[in-house]
Amino acid sequence: MLLEVVWFYLRNSSREKNGPDHLRRAAWGQRLVRRLLRAAAIRTTFHGAPPTTGVLVCNHLSYLDVLVLADAHPMIFMSKSEVGNWPLIGAAARCAGTLFINRRKRSDVLCLASAMADVVERSSAVLAFFPEGTSSGGADVLPFHSGLFAPAVAHGWPVTPAGIRYELADGSVPDDVAYWGGMTFVPHFLNLLTKRRIEAHVSFGRPLPAGLDRKALAHAAQAEALRLSRPR
């Protein structure tokens, strides 16, 4: 993984003089993700069709969510700024075109509006993010932050909700798969690698109605994510 990240960076740093090629980065990220999922014995099952344009929003349980969603379709993700500083993972995220947001600054969404438009309009790539702003144990879906929907409302981008859930035979999803509360990454990740197989289920909904304001859109997306994340 390290060599592939370095190679991708060296190949593309001089090619993207007019800005990152989001479609190429998203496709590279998908190829890397699929190898990681196989290595970690994570099997993905998809219900419905992922969007091919606009914005995808989903409930958030674990750092695995990004891998699972990227397996369905090449996507560019928004992530908390701290991830960009994580060893190796941060470098891979940057190579995959991730947009980093400072969750402590509400104005950061406005600062990222142009970069979001580059992804959705200029590159025609799917932009994915987790509007809860943090992960949970999966018992419920936390309120979606409406500020993250403002660029989609302003530009009229289609917003598609999705719901994700996990299953495993030798453990507990809240304790062993979900990454939340006071958990620390290294012990959680090492424990995750001991699991025989993890089943990830993603259900994609339909684009939400156009014309909603950001608060109504966030509320509708949360309700759909909750419905879609429940067992079928």
Mean pLDDT of all residues in 7-35: 72
Q: Do 95 and 9 contact (CB within 8 A), yes or no?
A: yes
Q: Examine residue 34 and state whether it is found in any structural domain, yes or no.
A: no
Specify which residues 201 forms β-bridges with.
45, 165
Is 24 inside a domain boundary? no
When mean pLDDT is compared across 53-67, 107-121, 127-141, 169-183, the lowest value belongs to: 107-121
Is 89 exposed, middle or buried, given 0-12, 13-18 or 19+ CB atoms closer than 10 A?
Answer: middle
Domain of 209?
39-73+100-133+142-228
**For all residues of the chain together, what is the average pLDDT?**
89
Q: What is the pLDDT of residue 83?
A: 85
Q: For residue 170, tell me if it sits in a domain.
A: yes
Host H or E run for residue 36: helix 22-39
Q: Answer yes or no: is pLDDT of 6 > 60.
A: no
Inform me whether the pLDDT recorded for 12 exceeds 50. Answer: yes
User: Is residue 4 in a domain?
Assistant: no
Helix (H) or strand (E) holding 58: strand 55-58
Q: Is the pLDDT of residue 21 over 70?
A: yes
Please give the Cα distance from 214 to 147 (Å, whole number): 7
Number of separate domains in the chain: 1
Burial (CB count <10 Å: 0-12, 13-18, 19+), residue 35: exposed
Whether the predicted pLDDT of 45 surpasses 50: yes
* Cα(50)–Cα(71) distance, integer angstroms: 10
Q: For 20, left (φ over 0), alpha (ψ -120 to 50), or beta? A: beta
Q: Helix/strand/coil (H, E, C) string of 180-228?
A: CCCCCHHHHHHHHCCCCCEEEEEEECCCCCCCCCHHHHHHHHHHHHHHH
In a domain, 221, yes or no: yes
* Residue 232 binned pLDDT confidence (cut-offs 50, 70, 90): confident
Contact 75, 127 (CB under 8 A): yes
For residue 86, tell me if it sits in a domain: no
Express each pLDDT in 68-101 by its tens digit.
999 999 999 999 888 888 777 888 898 899 999 8
Q: Is residue 222 part of a domain?
A: yes
Domain annotation covers residue 44: yes
